[in-house]
Structure 1
Amino acid sequence: MRMNNPVVEQVTSTGMTRSKEIAVVAFLIAIGAVLRMFSPAILGITPNFIIAMYCISILLLRPKLGAALGIGIVAGAISMIFSKSPIPYLNLFSEPAGALMCALLTYYLPEFSIKKYSFKPCLATFLGTLVSGGLYIILNFQLALHLPPAAMKAAFIGVVIPVALINMVMAQALYAPIRKYLFR
């Protein structure tokens, strides 16, 4: 005899059960982790696909801010495993900040679309990546390594902005097909 668990089977505002939402987030973050692990550095920059994937999950599922923060914490923990930084635990601060930015934009940014094609994924992912990467740079360069502001600026321009652009394109390209598949 199967017992129904009202917490797991509760249908959310997206029409999915919580267990399916958790599975979607886990699956997307896992894809981001695999891509990050196996993608080669491009001009010395390793794209952070985990950010793109948690942004897509936030855009699709529209979690409350606490749940978005949880998604960011999980993403930060996973990012620590694949970080090439001397201080990988900083991801536990930067990824939740990026996830919160993405969630705030998801809720409060007016719909930016042409016909039925939304451009919110590219903007939310771009800004989420900038917040995550910017905070990471500040924490890493100013608080931990005590490097000059010029080094922080160079890292932001040379690493964070290109990664944000890569994530933006990736999230925009994947959002519609994933949404169509999940909500068919």
Structure 2
Amino acid sequence: MRGRDEETGEYLGESRSQQRRDALEVLALGQQLVALTDAQLAKLPVPEALLPHIRETRRITSHIAHKRQLAFLAKQMRREDDEVLEAIRDALDEKGEAARREVAAMHRVEAWRDRLLAEGDAALGEFIAQYPDADRQSLRQLVRNTLEERKRNKPPRAFRELFRELRELVMAGAAPAATGDDQPVDDASEDAAD
């Protein structure tokens, strides 16, 4: 029982429901850690004492035994300071956000590549306007080579080279992402719908 403060009448400590919610959050964090590779784990601020428990949980494949070992891992994690668990959560969230940003950038690059191949010089003019460091002649040649590859059913060497070139330009010019660079993605999806 958690009892009450005699002077104020307030309950002391957390309720059992809150303790259960906290325990379930730690269990979910443990599941995330078990799903990571050793290389990914090495990048996180996981205490050395937890690593053997994480590896052991990964090793066990029997459903019930795995569940029991995961519960044991969560118990060991609850013994750590709250700051340690928060640091692990923050590191996992940053990776998730960085991955989402990277995927969004790749989608922008793919959308630009598709527009350049479909619209030609009109899309190239817009791209040059947003990314002034781009070499118009080089991009025009890559677009031409890609279209020629498709016509002759050759391997997509120029297609990939065009993607690499666009990716370098888009990643180097991160400022356009804040100025509405997402429009080409919408245009490309509208073109695909038509």
TM above 0.5: no
Q: Whose relative contact order is higher, 1 or 2, with alpha carbons under 8 Å and at least 6 apart?
A: 1
Larger radius of gyration: 2
- TM-score, L = length of structure 1: 0.26
